[in-house]
A and B are shown apart, each in its own frame.
Chain A
Amino acid sequence: MTAIATPERVVVAMSGGVDSSLAAALVVASGAETIGITMRLSASGSRCCSLEDADDARRVAERLGIRFYVANYAEAFGREVIDAFADAYLAGRTPIPCIACNQRFKFDHLLERAKAFGAARVATGHYARISHDPATGRARLFRARHREKDQSYFLFSLRQEQLRQAHFPVGEMSKEDVRREARALGLETAEKPESQEICFVPDGDYAKVVERLRPEATQASGSIVDEAGQILGRHRGIHRFTVGQRHGLGIASDRRLYVVRLEPESQRVVVGDATDLDCSGARVERVGWISGEEPDGPIRVRVQVRHRHRAVGAEVRALASGETEVRFDEPVRAVAPGQAAVFYDEAGDDEVLGGGFLVEGRR
């Protein structure tokens, strides 16, 4: 009998978008036996798992002449990602579900399935780069070649064994190149519009999703106060707010008011001026390092606290409490608990060193 495990087998996570479609095409072109998988992450109604997207991925797989399957993770995804998303909003945080999705689903679960298939690697359409250091055997993670599409912020929590088996075929390319090549190959998804939203919040209405999952949130209410404790208005649940938000406060004021802080215990939304949003540092939890090793002492990094933010110079220091303290070189605006703080190398702002989740900004 021939061996089942053929090392050149590669699984490609195909969402039905142009990036993962071209990633699959590039893996095919490399000569690997390519297997396309669309992950079904929710029972119905969400964009990433819609029939249309699965059908798009299937059509691309057919054009490429590769086997294609749907992997049903709806139940686990609902439990591990969507429920956690709702609970985070109720606790006054601004969650970032893509990180758990990448780590646990695109890599943990899909890597497991790849192994069941005798495949050694999982490729995705992420814009980021991985290099393998032959001396140490370590994998290193970098921003995409073209910064405007960089998705490394969502990948900081990948572990060594995940990175070693991950492959980002479009990480060196620009979006324009990806579309051009997809067009040249006649891939059905070449002109497909970009998706910006969180996949299970297709219309961007986070509050509605939270209220569907946690109906008690529809009953929530509280006060909108300023830093002095003065009540300025009422609100219908802190899950409707994020730090830095200016619109939808529903209060009349001469000042431009921003959400500065959410207080889950008292259900208060604290507002202030733009300058009140500036933070000189932050506490970060669940910090991990790509190398798998913690630094010996405080280190200098560039830190990025939101996907679209610019990274700033900072010092990172582990605290005795298990949390990590980050001190910014310059004020950083709208540090939202629940978002990720991702650490890049100080000199180049290019290599991902690690990161964690924001607990609280420090003024």
Chain B
Amino acid sequence: MRIYLDHNATTPLRPEVMETMERVLRESFGNPSSVPFEGTRARALVEQARDQVAGLLSAEPAHIRFTSGATEANNTLLFGLLAPGDHVVTTCVEHPSVSAPLEVLASRGVRVDWIAPDESGCIAVADVEAAIRPETKLVCVIWANNETGAVQPIAELAALCRARGPWLHADATQAIGKLDVDLTKTRVDSIASSAHKLGGPKGVGALVLRDQATIRPFLLGGGQERGHRGGTENVIGIAGYGAACRAAAATGAAQGETMRRLRDRLWRGIQTGISGVRWNGDPVRTLANTLNVGFAGVAGEVLLQALDLEGISVSAGAACHSGSIEPSKVLLAMGKTPEEARGSLRFSLGQGVDEAQIDRTIELLAKLVPRIRELGEP
């Protein structure tokens, strides 16, 4: 029985999501853009899911633009909003689906200011405020970081941006389902979201925004999503996404408290059982399910693989296509040395994790970490 502590990478499908998707797969093959009966049914499924996603986020259904995931949502927003000469304020701890497009846009004449976080991985509102200029078009900040779980001050940034004018986009992929992402309370202009981080399927997500007209379509085609995103809808995925959002809305804060209790148990166990460990981040401003730990004198890659062989799934840094692991840019941005970054692992909890699994993880870490330190790989 494996112990899965990698929920920030992806989550298993919730049973209710699987039921929904199976039903759609069996019963509804229609094209939502088609007039006949089959199409009408498929359209109804898509619109029901739109209501469910909007419900979780306290957004209007009309604000949901379905995409193939958060990467497409971020790309759509950035390429759809920015033009040469525009100024952007963003952070050094964005997901690559934000930083990579911004680097391309920067090479095409968009001016980008990258705000460094403090050692906990959080950025200061004052730094963003100081960077905003009259021509600043966009402030783009990850709501909660995938690697460290660091939660950014989005509510304050939203107030700041409303006062000063720029569009505020937040990549909320990791925040949704873990934090109260309520777009009525927190007035961001747009967020990116992905279904598979909250018990939904891969390959579907959304760009959520009030002002649909301002953001040019990223994919041109048959006028789907009210002309904002071409391409026949991923009906099965979208229905699964809706089901996942409905389930997440029902679980709510209770889940968060369970995660926090288990995560803190894991940290206490690591802290008491193993020397030379450090929490990369500020426990108070971190997602309840995430723990990023630096193990001094340990290659995270080796520890990750050794844990995997013993049945425990965690993450380290950023895996490239070949599967080897590079030191995390996020940890480097937080001021960690390359060695510290290489010696760090991310534990991310989720549904199904229990105390016995946490205790087994602590026990194995206490065995493997000293063994690996003794070997001292490069």
The answer to whether B378 and A71 touch across the interface, beta carbons within 8 angstroms, is no
Nearest B-chain residue to A75, judged by Cβ: B378
A residues within 8 A CB of B323?
38, 54, 58, 68-70
Cα of A76 to Cα of B368 in the assembled complex, Å: 23
B:345-378 near A, CB below 8 Å: 360, 363-364, 367-368, 371-372, 375-378
The answer to whether A4 and B378 touch across the interface, beta carbons within 8 angstroms, is no
Of the candidate stretches A113-121, A175-183, A283-291, A327-335, the one touching chain B is: A113-121
The answer to whether B306 and A72 touch across the interface, beta carbons within 8 angstroms, is no
The answer to whether A112 and B305 touch across the interface, beta carbons within 8 angstroms, is no
B:323-363 near A, CB below 8 Å: 323-326, 360, 363
The answer to whether B324 and A71 touch across the interface, beta carbons within 8 angstroms, is yes
How many B residues, CB 8 Å from partner? Answer: 25
Whether A1 touches B363, Cβ cut-off 8 Å, given contacts A67-B308, A112-B375, A113-B377, is yes
The answer to whether A109 and B309 touch across the interface, beta carbons within 8 angstroms, is no
Indicate whether A51 reaches chain B with its CB closer than 8 angstroms. yes
The answer to whether B321 and A117 touch across the interface, beta carbons within 8 angstroms, is no
B residues within 8 A CB of A40?
322, 324
Write the nearest CB–CB distance from B367 to chain A, whole angstroms.
6
The answer to whether A72 and B301 touch across the interface, beta carbons within 8 angstroms, is yes
Write the nearest CB–CB distance from A340 to chain B, whole angstroms.
24
The dominant DSSP class at the B interface is helix
Indicate whether B310 reaches chain A with its CB closer than 8 angstroms. yes
Q: A67's contact among B309, B325, B360, B375, by CB below 8 Å, is which?
A: B309
Q: B302's contact among A54, A58, A116, by CB below 8 Å, is which?
A: A116
A:229-262 near B, CB below 8 Å: none
The answer to whether B306 and A117 touch across the interface, beta carbons within 8 angstroms, is yes
The answer to whether A69 and B377 touch across the interface, beta carbons within 8 angstroms, is no
Nearest B-chain residue to A119, judged by Cβ: B309
Whether A69 touches B376, Cβ cut-off 8 Å, given contacts A40-B322, A58-B323, A116-B371, is no
The answer to whether B368 and A116 touch across the interface, beta carbons within 8 angstroms, is yes
A residues within 8 A CB of B302?
113, 116
Cα of A104 to Cα of B131 in the assembled complex, Å: 49
B residues within 8 A CB of A51?
321-322
Cα of A127 to Cα of B364 in the assembled complex, Å: 37
The answer to whether A116 and B322 touch across the interface, beta carbons within 8 angstroms, is no
Indicate whether A73 reaches chain B with its CB closer than 8 angstroms. yes
Cα of A19 to Cα of B164 in the assembled complex, Å: 65
Nearest B-chain residue to A69, judged by Cβ: B305
A:247-306 near B, CB below 8 Å: none
A:27-86 near B, CB below 8 Å: 35, 38, 40, 49, 51, 54-55, 58, 67-76
Write the nearest CB–CB distance from B228 to chain A, whole angstroms.
35
B residues within 8 A CB of A1?
360, 363
B residues within 8 A CB of A49?
322
Q: B378's contact among A68, A109, A116, by CB below 8 Å, is which?
A: A109
The answer to whether B310 and A4 touch across the interface, beta carbons within 8 angstroms, is yes
Whether A117 touches B309, Cβ cut-off 8 Å, given contacts A4-B364, A75-B378, A112-B376, is yes
Write the nearest CB–CB distance from A117 to chain B, whole angstroms.
6
Nearest B-chain residue to A72, judged by Cβ: B324
The answer to whether A35 and B378 touch across the interface, beta carbons within 8 angstroms, is no
Write the nearest CB–CB distance from B373 to chain A, whole angstroms.
10
Whether A115 touches B375, Cβ cut-off 8 Å, given contacts A4-B310, A54-B323, is yes
Write the nearest CB–CB distance from A53 to chain B, whole angstroms.
9
Write the nearest CB–CB distance from A164 to chain B, whole angstroms.
17
Whether A70 touches B310, Cβ cut-off 8 Å, given contacts A109-B377, A112-B376, is no
Write the nearest CB–CB distance from B131 to chain A, whole angstroms.
33
Cα of A7 to Cα of B347 in the assembled complex, Å: 29
B residues within 8 A CB of A112?
375-377
Interface centre among A38, A51, A116, A117, by most chain B C-beta atoms within 10 angstroms, is A116
Given contacts A67-B308, A116-B305, A118-B306, 5 further A-B contacts (CB under 8 A): A35-B309, A38-B323, A71-B324, A73-B378, A117-B305
- What are 7 pairs between A and B in contact, CB < 8 Å? A49-B322, A72-B326, A109-B377, A109-B378, A112-B376, A117-B305, A117-B306
